[in-house]
Structure 1
Amino acid sequence: MRKIVIVNNPKDWDFNIEDVEVVAAQAYLTDPAYTEIKNARIFNLCRSYKYQSTGYYVSLLAEARGHRAIPNVTTIQDLKSQTIVRSITNEMDDLIQKSLSDIKSRVFTLSIYFGQNVARKYEKLSKQLHDLFQAPLLRAEFVFNKEWNLHNISPIPLNEVPEHHRKYLMNFAKAYFARHRFSGAKPKAKIYDLAILTNPLESDPPSNRKAIQQFIEAAHTLGFSTELITKDDYKRLSEFDALFIRETTSVNHHTYRFARRAHADGLVVIDDPVSILRCTNKVYLAELLTKAKVPIPKTMIIHKDNRDQVVQELGLPTVLKKPDSSFSQGVVKVCDEAQLNEELDSMLTTSELIIGQEFMPTDFDWRIGVLDRQPLYACKYYMAKDHWQIYNWKGKKNNISGNAETVDIGEVPFNVMHTALKAANLIGDGLYGVDLKEINGQAYVIEVNDNPSIDYGYEDQLLKKDLYLSILKSIKRRIEIQKNIPNEQSA
């Protein structure tokens, strides 16, 4: 497996280590040669992992390309959340107190280079923190208040490593890269009730009130004790056996933190955090689907260096998408070069990369619901009145969305169903909604949703209560598999 160190500036890495390649981040993101590499481990030493920064996209696209990224995007997100940091490190408390017992100051900073510290007495603490948060360079900040607490853990930019630590860094790096396997600590399972995360104030949630009630009734039928929770119930997650998210998900949002915390606590989670990360970023999806040869509209990953090629590559009109757009928001159609440049100026100020796609007008989009890698339901979502999208947020109240028609799975064209399943199964085995356009017998994937709409009176038109039961049976089966309990009722 190729070992590739990614840095903002190759001058940041002046070590010559056998079998380790050093590549500039911009080259890795934009050079097609790196897309074709089939077996690589990517060590991301970019100066920042901030959301939608260069460092963030290095790890995101590495995962889309099938490369193994260290840190991966899940770790990057974990490092941002003090709540997740404290939750994950709770079991290290004895080690923390023992390791820092001789320190007299109230604040202590531990620099961790490839799992090691320059002082051998912190070797075990450094290794365990690195195993939990697999990033090459970490800075752990501890504060003493009656006892030592991990206040913060964050990446160390490579160019900020003190000069007198560079020789240690080189030796630690050589030992690190000589290893053949890199494995992190696995979160332990903890405590059999169902939590459904909702937001009573959300104007267009993924499930309306009647649908939520159907989920509760289905859960009761299967023997669940069910509770509706909100973002204020974060600390209570360990009370449940499963978390079902029925609130619109996003990475920089409490829904992701709930999913990640629940997963770390051993709960069964739909939507799981990996699916949220993969589905909510259009750049990741474009790279993943292209690599797997799943048909999508002609697509271009746009950045500041290739923005002048959009018209030549995609023509006009063309569609621009923010990486984390959803429900048609953050998606615009541009019809001329002036509008194109105006939108690019705006979008590229908030994200290093955005998506451009050829405009493919159709009367409706297919939505194939997929669960456990199998089709669950099928719908046709028609475009909003006098609009090119399903949702027209600027339209009149009665014309914001188009009509929806539920279709028997057996009536879905083969190409549509086959393409939808191929796309969803690249993400995982959770609950997904795959949106496709069908043109001249060819199906094109528009996006894969980790949090698809399940609304009473729409997606359940044909299956009725069985739709809700199917989803709850899947959750119950996952719990029983995890707990090694023979599954009878939900077989």
Structure 2
Amino acid sequence: MGSIIVINQPKKWNFNIPSVETISPRDYLTNQKYLQEKNYKIFNLSKSYKYQSEGYYVSLLAMARGHQVIPGISTIQNMKSNAVIKVIDHDLDNLIQKSLSREKGDSYTLSIYFGKNLAKKNDKLSLQLFNVIKAPMIRAFFQYDARSKKWHLSSISPIPASEIPEDHRSYLEEFAFEYFTLRNFQSSKTKLSQKPYTLAILINPDDPNPPSDEKAIQRFVKAAHKKNFDVHIITKDDYAKIPQYDALFIRETTSVNHHTYRFAERDNAEGIVVIDDPESIIRCTNKVYLSELLISNNIPTPKTIILHKDNLEEVARTIAYPSILKQPDGAFSLGVIKVKDESEFLIESKSMLEKSDLIIVQEFTPTEFDWRVGIINKKPLYLSKYYMAKNHWQILDHDSKESKNYGDSESIELDKAPPGLLKTALRASNLIGDGLYGVDLKQVGKEFYVIEVNDNPSIDSDTEDFILKEKLYEEIMDVFLNRIREKKI
């Protein structure tokens, strides 16, 4: 993929980056060469991004031409969103406090060029902001709150080339050169690797309950190599590297208000194959949404009520006990509480409603185990049983003091599934999409009830892969390979 820097008066700039063109906005907008060729990455450094300016049209038409562009129109708009700024401020709070702890006064402005600031002490904060707001040049404005004694991000804006101070020009050129050469952004995929396609696997090395253990990750890598992928294991700090890859496989716990969602959203926007996609993350990680979706499509579930402050007292009086309370975004059995009576119900539900306006209350359905049907591309992949933890009603007992706080598991051949199990699981997962899902179900007699649909389900060595072995990993890699090829047609 060729890279192009679009900047006013390109002859006045000393970028001199191998394999990177430097052209003017007018040249990009009018030269037929850039209209006909699809395989370009555009870095828009125009003097203005104002509505209907040349800089605005560079980003707009780049999207129409199928070029990857930063900043895109959505990025320019996101910088104007207070909601987006608040999310970034929350996510980067610890880093902001650490980076600005020695600053005086009540305001601070950080100029960021290709992920770097002139002061080396600001490099980490600059890189993280650049990773979140993907624009070549941005200013981040911070305000100090004397009451909380904390710095807060107040706004972010793009820096048009016309506003770059003269004494910053050489730094911009240096940082751009470093960005393109050290990160290989100037090169094509074949220069990154002789293999035809590249796959990134996103993990969190510090996650106590990762979706895949280290051995399983290595089996994914081995399967990808067998399918002729060049594979890179990445973490949240590698957000800037996304354009290098043809596909992203998220193997860490996902959430909407989280970097995993931003990775998925950016890949999806840039036409990169991603599992799981942002829509799947939205649909699966909120139990209120999922409950409404299942009920409205007549998917059998345990009796479920969406709880809010107005119906709290009535539900408390009429529901059967024990019952299960669920916060909308809980994962790995966290945020799920069993209440034994009305008093406990009111205490716990009021606590949950302080964090979310809506929560879930569900009838308690005791079973020896839960079924898990693994599904990818709308086809069953594996079938497992997860048994409850010792002396506990859940698979995972977070309060247990024993070294093993989870129940046993076993995998079963798909053709030995009880009648109706796979059909019910597929009906539920097909409402989400065509990604990789784990459908959890309770069995009562011959009936099956969907508990939830998980995006990014657990695939651990010697558990979910017990039946298929290496073939399980290869089947997932085949899905990536086929989707990449479809996009290339």
TM-score, with length taken from structure 1? 0.63
Give the aligned partner of residue 451 of structure 1.
456
- Percent identity for Structure 1 against Structure 2: 49
Q: From 475, 478, 482, give the equivalent of 1:473.
A: 478
* Distance of 1:403 and 1:145 partners within structure 2: 50
* Distance of 1:145 and 1:462 partners within structure 2: 51
Give the aligned partner of residue 111 of structure 1.
none
Give the aligned partner of residue 429 of structure 2.
424
2:248 touches 2:272 (CA, 8 Å); kept in 1? yes
Count, aligned residues: 335
Give the aligned partner of residue 14 of structure 1.
none
Question: Secondary structure of 1:395's match?
Answer: coil
Q: Which amino acid aligns with 1:96?
A: Y
TM-superposed CA distance for 1:149, in Å, is 6.7
* Distance of 2:474 and 2:418 partners within structure 1: 26
Question: Secondary structure of 1:325's match?
Answer: coil
Q: 1:140 to 1:348 in 2, by over 3 A?
A: closer
1:314 touches 1:357 (CA, 8 Å); kept in 2? no
Give the aligned partner of residue 47 of structure 1.
none
Give the aligned partner of residue 177 of structure 1.
none
Q: 1:410 to 1:94 in 2, by over 3 A?
A: farther
Give the aligned partner of residue 237 of structure 2.
232
Q: From 49, 53, 67, give the equivalent of 1:96.
A: 49
Q: 1:441 to 1:428 in 2, by over 3 A?
A: same
1:303 touches 1:348 (CA, 8 Å); kept in 2? yes
* Distance of 2:341 and 2:319 partners within structure 1: 12
* Distance of 1:204 and 1:251 partners within structure 2: 18
1:140 touches 1:150 (CA, 8 Å); kept in 2? no
Q: 1:91 to 1:292 in 2, by over 3 A?
A: farther
* Distance of 1:90 and 1:345 partners within structure 2: 49
* Distance of 1:131 and 1:209 partners within structure 2: 35
Give the aligned partner of residue 310 of structure 1.
315
1:392 touches 1:399 (CA, 8 Å); kept in 2? no
Question: Secondary structure of 2:366's match?
Answer: coil
Q: From 455, 460, 468, give the equivalent of 2:465.
A: 460
* Distance of 1:89 and 1:221 partners within structure 2: 33
* Distance of 1:401 and 1:470 partners within structure 2: 28
1:317 touches 1:359 (CA, 8 Å); kept in 2? yes
Q: From 243, 252, 256, give the equivalent of 1:251.
A: 256
Q: Could you give the per-residue CA deviations for residues 172-201 of structure 1, whole angstroms, max 9, x where no partner exists? A: xxxxxxxxxxxxxxxxxx973100001111
Q: From 267, 270, 273, give the equivalent of 1:265.
A: 270
Give the aligned partner of residue 194 of structure 1.
199
* Distance of 1:434 and 1:145 partners within structure 2: 43
TM-superposed CA distance for 1:148, in Å, is 11
Q: Note if 1:408 corresponds to 2:413.
A: yes
TM-superposed CA distance for 1:399, in Å, is 3.3
Question: Secondary structure of 1:398's match?
Answer: coil
Q: Which amino acid aligns with 1:429?
A: D
Give the aligned partner of residue 118 of structure 2.
none
* Distance of 1:387 and 1:204 partners within structure 2: 19
1:408 touches 1:462 (CA, 8 Å); kept in 2? yes
Give the aligned partner of residue 286 of structure 2.
281
Give the aligned partner of residue 19 of structure 1.
none
* Distance of 2:397 and 2:83 partners within structure 1: 46
1:198 touches 1:228 (CA, 8 Å); kept in 2? yes
Give the aligned partner of residue 215 of structure 1.
220
* Distance of 1:130 and 1:272 partners within structure 2: 18
TM-superposed CA distance for 1:151, in Å, is 6.3
* Distance of 2:52 and 2:227 partners within structure 1: 48
Q: 1:98 to 1:333 in 2, by over 3 A?
A: closer
Q: Which amino acid aligns with 2:49?
A: I
TM-superposed CA distance for 1:227, in Å, is 0.8
Give the aligned partner of residue 294 of structure 1.
299
Question: Secondary structure of 2:464's match?
Answer: coil
Question: Secondary structure of 1:418's match?
Answer: helix
Question: Secondary structure of 1:250's match?
Answer: coil
Once the two structures are superposed, the pairs formed by residues 115-264 of structure 1 within 5 Å of their partners are 192-264=197-269
2:211 touches 2:253 (CA, 8 Å); kept in 1? yes
RMSD value, Cα:
3.3
* Distance of 1:320 and 1:441 partners within structure 2: 26
Q: Over alpha carbons, which structure has the higher Rg?
A: 2
2:317 touches 2:342 (CA, 8 Å); kept in 1? no
* Distance of 2:283 and 2:51 partners within structure 1: 39
* Distance of 2:272 and 2:254 partners within structure 1: 18
Give the aligned partner of residue 329 of structure 1.
334
Question: Secondary structure of 1:225's match?
Answer: strand
TM-superposed CA distance for 1:138, in Å, is 9.6
2:43 touches 2:136 (CA, 8 Å); kept in 1? no
TM-superposed CA distance for 1:99, in Å, is 5.4
* Distance of 1:145 and 1:329 partners within structure 2: 38
- Which ranges of structure 2 fall in alignment gaps of 5 or more residues? 1-40, 55-71, 86-109, 114-134, 141-187, 190-196
TM-superposed CA distance for 1:397, in Å, is 3.6
* Distance of 1:91 and 1:420 partners within structure 2: 46
Q: 1:336 to 1:233 in 2, by over 3 A?
A: same
Give the aligned partner of residue 440 of structure 1.
445
- Which ranges of structure 1 fall in alignment gaps of 5 or more residues? 1-87, 102-127, 153-189, 485-491
Question: Secondary structure of 1:355's match?
Answer: strand
* Distance of 2:488 and 2:473 partners within structure 1: 23
1:100 touches 1:148 (CA, 8 Å); kept in 2? no
Give the aligned partner of residue 155 of structure 1.
none
* Distance of 1:370 and 1:133 partners within structure 2: 36
